[in-house]
Amino acid sequence: MNKTVLLLSLLAFILLGCDNEKTYRVKAGKHYSNYSITKLKKNVINFRFSTDSSWVWDSPEKNGWSKVIGVAYNGNHQNSVRVVYMRLQDTLGVLGYYYYVRGESPQINPLYKGILDTIDIGKTYYGTLGYENGFYFVRMGDRHHSLHVGNPLPSLYEVFLQKLYIGGTYTIDHDWVSTQKYWY
């Protein structure tokens, strides 16, 4: 087999065989999106997600972060790395990072959360997140945050994709929608 055929075959496999683009929707008044559990094969993913007018809502009285995409190791609230979203004002939304380390939440340790950037409605965002070489990290464009965590993962663990979720203290009055894709 010549190199051109091999290269074209590999490209076709990547483009056609790994199509996992999905549209997630959190229904009005709910927290969870329409998803099933997705087990991952690696500790790090590349991702993209879209924003639209459904990302605009009034800032709730008990405001908090809502999950956009993330990776969890053996449990949602044990060890995880996430890209999150919050409406700070009725006209301003921000993207951030949010970590759980050995069961300790970002509400307990403020070093485990922060802002990456303001959001532009209608834009598609690209990035990478996960656990590598003793660090949790999130990269989006030229923005980056990492946290040295050593090795918080048990010797046997499973890796799961985290999907769209409205913060636990409030819901919104319309559906929240995002089309997303991840790859290794």
Over residues 117-164, the pLDDT tens digits come to 999 999 999 999 999 999 999 999 999 999 999 998 888 899 999 999
Rg of the chain in Å (alpha carbons) = 17
Which residues, including other chains, have CB under 8 Å from residue 118's CB and lie 6 or more apart? 92, 93, 94, 95
CA dist., res. 30 & res. 156, Å (int): 33
Q: By the 8 A CB rule, do 80 and 153 touch? A: no
Q: Which domains does the chain have, with CATH numbers?
A: 20-183 (2.60.120.200)
Quote the pLDDT of residue 91: 83
CA dist., res. 149 & res. 36, Å (int): 29
Please report, in angstroms and rounded to a whole number, the separation of the first and last CA atoms in the chain: 26
Which residue type does 65 have?
A: W
- Condensed to tens digits (0 to 9), the pLDDT of residues 91-107 reads 899 999 999 999 999 99
Reported pTM: 0.88
Separation in Å, CA 92 to CA 56, 73, 164: 9, 31, 19
